[in-house]
Structure 1
């Protein structure tokens, strides 16, 4: 679902962009956009990148679809689909070693754009580029505040969305790919949102995030932290 570009949405995105812009750590600013499946992370990243660039900083959106594990790894726990998705969907070791570390303090700034092709299931080793030192790098995915990753983000934006709203959005978006609305609903209940519940229970991501946005109503998001003073 593409959000309507209301004045309120532009104000919230602008406020987040203005919060990020003064951050100049001497290397590209590594920003994770966190939230449950269906919370609107990918769209938020694209909109925020446009706001950052409009304010004069280069923005890089790294697509999380390029950081999945190969299919055999993703599907090795079919007996426990929630834990399987939580543990095996994303190649977070590659995200750490090939993106976050090289973009961090003392890094080369040369990073991987992707390490995997989701459609062909091919491993990618040569999709690399170099980030400007003042770039804002945005990476949107679930589970970004797990141990081993959480200390490598310079900022984390957590998108809060009521779970029933997130599921409805996800089912609408993915029904065709997952075999229809009934199958998609089952997949969200047993795998995707079930994994998100594990993540929330184990990591409590919202309080850890530096920025929290309530994205339940796409046309009227609310900036909960650092403040809603916009």
Structure 2
């Protein structure tokens, strides 16, 4: 892999950098778009998908939010627990089994794009799909640089990973505008989420682990 940019790039420059490195690849390519809630992950993933599709590549979009745990697991450590938010939000084993393993460079290509519907709090078992041998898999979600996405030798399972860098106050403001949640990062009603994401950043330092950091503030 080429040397990664030494400094965060703008959104446009970051997209260009990423597309220029994905296009020459053969086989399947796994791309992670990581960031705090409100960082613009799904929007950036959508823009990347458009750029790659316009280049003639087949793109498969996956969101980690479609692999949530049931509410009983998500809140097993308490409804206000930051630790529980980081550790228990997602069904990582199912995500690895249904997405990462089959869509990796040596995978069989038989995958499922979802396992849970948050709106109805319902488990899902959609039909299996088959990916072509050459495709780009773009995954957006939180905590994509956590230890579960590294192998036993400490190597990332992603071919490329992106960290969208957004100040906490800005991400909370965006969420308040989008969802009507509190706009103060210190509001106790959102402590579970804000503090959980701060702990993830402190422990995993995703900006250092990512191949590309985008200034998305």
Scaled to the shorter chain, the TM-score interval is: 0.7 to 0.9
Q: Is 1:15 equivalent to 2:39 in the alignment?
A: no
For structure 2, the residue ranges without an aligned partner over 5 or more in a row are 1-9, 151-155
Task: Tell me the CA shift for residue 60 of structure 1.
Answer: 1.2
Contact 1:69 1:88 in 2 (8 A): yes
Q: Note the 1:100-179 alignment, pairs <5 A.
A: 100-150=100-150, 151-175=156-180
Unaligned 5+ runs, structure 1: 1-7, 217-230
Deviation at 1:47, TM superposition (A): 1.0
Match of 2:54 in 1: 54
Deviates more, 1:73-82 or 1:95-104: 73-82
SS at match of 1:143: coil
What is the aligned residue count? Answer: 203
Q: Secondary structure at the match of 1:148?
A: helix
Does the 8 A contact of 1:114 with 1:127 survive in 2? Answer: no
Deviation at 1:79, TM superposition (A): 6.0
Shift of 1:11: 5.1
- Quote the residue 2:84 is aligned against: 84
Q: Specify whether residues 18 and 183 from structure 1 end up closer, same or farther in structure 2 by C-alpha distance, changes over 3 A only.
A: closer
State the 1:69 CA deviation. Answer: 0.5
Normalising to structure 2: TM-score of the pair?
0.85
What residue number does 2:207 align with? 206
- Determine the C-alpha separation between the residues in 2 that align with 1:39 and 1:162: 9
Tell me by how many angstroms 1:18 deviates: 1.9
How far off its partner does 1:19 sit? 2.4
Residue of structure 2 equivalent to 1:191:
192
**In 2, Cα distance between the equivalents of 1:132 and 1:185?**
47
Task: Give distance in 2, aligned partners of 1:35 and 1:207.
Answer: 13
